[in-house]
Each structure stands twice: as structure tokens, then as C-alpha cells.
Chains A and B, each alone.
Chain A
Amino acid sequence: MKFFDALQRIDRRIIYIVMGLLVIFPLVKPLGLGVSSGPRARTLFDAVDSIPAGRTLLISVDFDPSSMPELYPMLAALMRHAFARDVKVLLCGLWVTGAGLADKAVTEIPPEYGKKYGDDVVYLGWKAGIDAVILGMGENIKNVFPTDYYGHPLDSLRMMNEVVRLRDIPMAVAISAGTPGYTDWLNFAQSRYGLRLGAGVTAVSAADAYPYLQTGQLTGLLAGMKGGAEYEVLVQKKDYSRAYMPAVAAMDSQSLAHVVIMLLVIVGNIAYFATRKRGA
């Protein structure tokens, strides 16, 4: 019984060290578990795949560095998918501290496909007033964003001559870490302007998105880093990209981390019930 008492009193820092080492190990020595794509990611992939070449995919970058490992791989994979199919990409964001991440994607990814800023990709930037931004874009994007993130007037960007309002966009994907995020796009862009919307969300909020999937309000869902990994695999399977896949590379660690947490819960419960029985 002393053993169970000792288990109950184990120092939190030992748990931290075990946890840390078990997460690091598969990053250095991958276990090779592989990643398969679920139905929600496939639905989103098929929807983006069906956008005709030359049309525009809107991506709303509604996250910041705190959720970068989960959501940035989705943003990169979606952009690669679009560019490989000659679909143009329009980016905007509702999170001010996420602006730099969208800027990073716009700077790094289009050159991989020989795409040119202004012709194939435009980053509108961030604006205050969430619902006012979305509703304004429904009427006229240039009214909301007279200039892009870098200060170029929208009239000077060729791509923006074909995209005047949200109705000119066949599909949008909101990559959201919370509020503001995909629910705002549903509330204001879909209910009023009928925008077809897919979502990439942090795993924390993934379970909350299922009612919107069931009604068809959301076309596909990428949930957390696993969702990003699923999309990366789909993009690479169709030979749209050969780039490094950070989410796929993390999946072995993710698996092991989940097993560790489950073991901790089980061992904690065993120790608790063993000592409680004795106390009773």
C-alpha cells in the first residue's frame, strides 16, 4: 500500500520530464505509424478540388502564434492545394496578432508554384470590427479594404478586378482558433450572402463544430494538428506538393502523448481507488 501512497504523492516535475521525453523521442526517431485521412478532411479537400481554375478561394486567418502548430500547417496545405490547381487565393484575418502568420504564408508559399502577388494571391490584412468587416465584404470588398495589408490600393491588384464581393467567391475556409472565427463567417457571410464555408479549427473547439457539419452549414472540417496532417497527406497523394509536412511529422509524437495521458489517468485512478478502499 505504501506503493500507492507514493504514487499519489509523485512530484509534478517527474510527470513533466516523462511527458517531455516521450514527446521528443518520436520526433527524433519516428515510429512510422502513418496518417490516414478522415471523412471530414476529405469533404473539404474535394470541395476545394472542385473550385474551377482561375476562380478564388478565400482563406480567413483567424488565429495567432499560440495555435500556430495546429493551424499553420492547414493554411500552408490549403494554399499549396489551391496554387497547384491554379486557383487564386485571397487572404484576410480577424485576429490582429495573426497578421504576421498570413504574411509569412504569402511570402513563402506562392513562389514554390511561380505565383505572383496581385495576380494569383492577395493578402487583405486585418481590420477592427469583426462582423462589420464580414458584412462589408459581402457588399464590396474594396470598401472594407481600400488597400491590402502592404498598403497597395486594391484597384492596382489585377486579381481584385474579378473579386468584388463575397458572392464572387465560390468557397471560403475559415481557419479559426476561437472567437472571432468560423462562427462569425457562418453568422454574417453565410446567412446573409450564402458563402460556402469550410473550417479548420483548433482541436479544443472541434467537437463544437459538429452541429454545423450535420446541417451542411460547414463543408468539411480540419480538426487540430491531426486535421492539418490529413490535409497534407491528401495534397501530397495527388502530387500537388512535395513540401515538408510538419503536421504529419508530429503525428507519432501526438499518438504517444495521448497514450501517456491515458496511462496517467489510469494509474492515477488505480492509486486513488486503492488508497480510498483502505481508508474506508
Chain B
Amino acid sequence: MKRTIPLAIVLTMGITMMVQFFVPHPVSVGYYDLTTRWIRIVGAFALVLGTGSFIMFHSDKVRRRRQGWYYSIISLVALVVTTVIGLGWGIRPGSILQNVIYANFLVPLNASMFAILAFYMASAAYRAFRARTKEAALLLIAAFIVMLGMVPIGASIWGKLPELAEWVLSVPNMAAKRAIIFGVALGGIATSLKVILGIERGWLGGGKQ
């Protein structure tokens, strides 16, 4: 029961949702509409998994005084304070959540976290990007054409550079990316079918239950 019923649910939902795509009958549309509403509600509850794991991980770290446990207190306090402010004062325009926490804490932290990648890219470009083979040289040339052609200085150096960059993107790049799309799509469809048919059962978790 613990494994069979979930597998039966997956099979039923998978097959019916595939079939309803091709059947525009009112019953099919009604079923589709109802399950679509349900899935949004169930999907929102999935947050419980993430939040629970987060609290368990950090509280365990604090309890056992593991290395850097005091940073976990910061995470837990930030979580509680943000949640209390968010749920207590709401998300309307001018709210503390939006005007203070989001605009002046979340935005700079998140944006800066990704901004520092530019420096690592510069360092990696200097140390690791070597034209050791013909293929690497080709990659390098294509990268240079796009890098220059897609910014204003490219047109100042040679007027045709933006057109060349656009050609690289529209013809050889497009062909390569389309081949990758085929691979990814076929892989995705195969995995979905394996899940529906119960061949892929990793999501059930380990153990004999």
C-alpha cells in the first residue's frame, strides 16, 4: 500500500493528463481545470519540505555547537523576523516587507552575490581559457566575435562585426543549440514516461516501506 498506491496515482494522473490534451470534451476540460487548481494548492504546500529541512538543519547545528553554529542563529532569526513581519504586516505597497526587507536587504544581498562572479570570470579567463586544441581555438574565436559584436565598441572597431556576431548566433549556434534541445526534450519525455510507468522510482525514497 505504501508504494503501490503512490505508483497507481502517478500512473493515473500521467495517463489522464496526457489523454486530456487531445480530447477537448467538456468532461475532459472540467477534469483538467479541477486538477490544475488542486496542483497549485498542493504545490504551495511543498514549501513545508524546504522550510522544515532548513529549520532542522540549522537548529541541529546550533544544538550540537557544530563549527560556525552562531551563523545558523543569524539564519534562523532572519527567517523568523522576516516571516513575522511578512505575515503580520502584509505585502501591500509601502509595507515593511517590501520597502525595507526586500528593497534594502534581499536585493543588495542577492544582486551582490551574483555580481562577484564577474571577478571570478576575469580571473578564470586569464588562468584557464587556453587555446590548446583546434576545438578550443574555435570556441575562443566564436566567443570573441560575440563578445565584441554584441556591444557598442564592436561596431566602432568594424561596422560589420555586429552582423557577423548575429550570423554566428543565428546559423551555427542555432544549429548546435537545436541539436541540444532535441536531446534534452527526448530525455525529458523518456524520464516522464519512466515516472508514469513506475520504472523510475527514485522519488519514493529508500527503505523497504
A: residues with CB less than 8 A from B are: 10, 12, 15-16, 19-20, 23, 33-36, 38-39, 64-69, 97, 99-100, 103-104, 107, 127-129, 132-133, 135-136, 139-140, 143-144, 149-151, 192, 206-208, 210-211, 213-214, 223, 226, 251-252, 254-262, 264-265, 267-269, 272
Contact = CB atoms under 8 A, between A and B. Distances in A.
B152 A210 contact: no
Nearest to B47: A128
B101 to A, nearest CB: 9
B36 A139 contact: yes
Interface residues of B, number: 60
Contacts of B125: 261, 264-265, 268
B122 A16 contact: yes
Contacts of B36: 132, 135-136, 139
B147 A66 contact: no
A127 B92 contact: no
A65 B92 contact: no
A211 B178 contact: yes
Main secondary structure of the interface of A (DSSP, over half): helix
Nearest to B108: A65
B110 interface: yes
B174 A210 contact: yes
Contacts of B177: 207-208, 210-211
B81 interface: no
For the complex of A and B, the 6 pairs showing the least CB-CB separation, nearest first, are A129-B43, A255-B153, A33-B152, A100-B102, A128-B43, A65-B110
Contact of B127 (A33, A129, A256, A268): A268
Contacts of B37: 136, 143
Contacts of A33: 152-153, 156
A38 B111 contact: no
A211 B181 contact: yes
B130 interface: yes
